């Protein structure tokens, strides 16, 4: 059985919910089972936000986990909250544009991505979440890039459809960084 359990976490407005939705939808396009479970802090923008995504080849018993195998961390409060729960030998993808301290864990793989800087270079700081998603895809292979593109096209409609190509560039940039 193949299973990926991810928590993506950051401040509201950093796009962690969209990242999770895209990933869960892409898993369905890849004929996998998936769940997406959002959790919001009491504030709207600027408050805490995270989501748990489970992707599996088999039926999923619960969308909740106490020990994820993978984390995408967009800010320091999320690192402090979720790092201790990460499974041994887990994967921690860290947005070093915002997180200016090293993780405490030495028993996990840490991938450092300067996501905001890369997003700005591409042309829009709001796509840092997709840079992080690209790094995640490169390191895990949880879903295919083709399915992610389909999920983006499904989710980003109307005026937001103009952002699809920019998001795809961000994903590719994140993948390239994770290869290093």
More reliable by pLDDT, 74 or 8:
74
Domain positions in the chain are 3-179
Distance CA(94)–CA(82), nearest Å, equals 12
Block residue for tokens 């997003």: 119
Three-point CA angle 29, 17, 72, nearest 5°? 90
Nearest to 27 by CA among 70, 71, 58, 65: 58
Q: What is the pLDDT of residue 89?
A: 97
Neighbours of 124 (CB within 10 A): 14
The pTM assigned to this predicted structure is: 0.94
Q: What is the mean pLDDT of the chain?
A: 93
Fold of 3-179: Pyruvate-ferredoxin Oxidoreductase; domain 3 (3.40.920)
Q: pLDDT digit string (tens) for 138-173?
A: 999 999 999 999 999 999 999 999 999 999 999 999
pLDDT at 1 over 60: no
């Amino acid at each position: 059985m193949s299973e990926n359990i991810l928590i993506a976490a950051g401040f509201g407005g950093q796009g962690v919910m969209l990242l999770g939705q895209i990933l869960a939808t892409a898993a369905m396009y890849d004929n996998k089972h998936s769940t997406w479970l959002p959790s919001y802090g009491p504030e709207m923008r600027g408050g805490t936000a995270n989501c748990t995504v489970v992707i599996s080849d088999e039926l999923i018993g619960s969308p909740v986990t106490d020990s994820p195998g993978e984390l995408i961390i967009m800010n320091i409060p999320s690192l402090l909250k979720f790092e201790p729960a990460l499974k041994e030998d887990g994967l921690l993808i860290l947005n070093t544009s915002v997180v200016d301290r090293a993780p405490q864990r030495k028993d996990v793989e840490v991938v450092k991505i300067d996501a905001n800087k890369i997003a700005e270079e591409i042309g829009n700081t709001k796509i840092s979440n997709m840079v992080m998603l690209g790094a995640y895809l490169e390191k895990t292979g949880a879903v295919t890039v083709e399915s992610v593109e389909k999920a983006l096209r499904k989710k980003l409609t109307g005026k937001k459809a103009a952002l699809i190509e920019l998001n795809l560039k961000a994903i590719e940039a994140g993948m390239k960084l994770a290869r290093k």
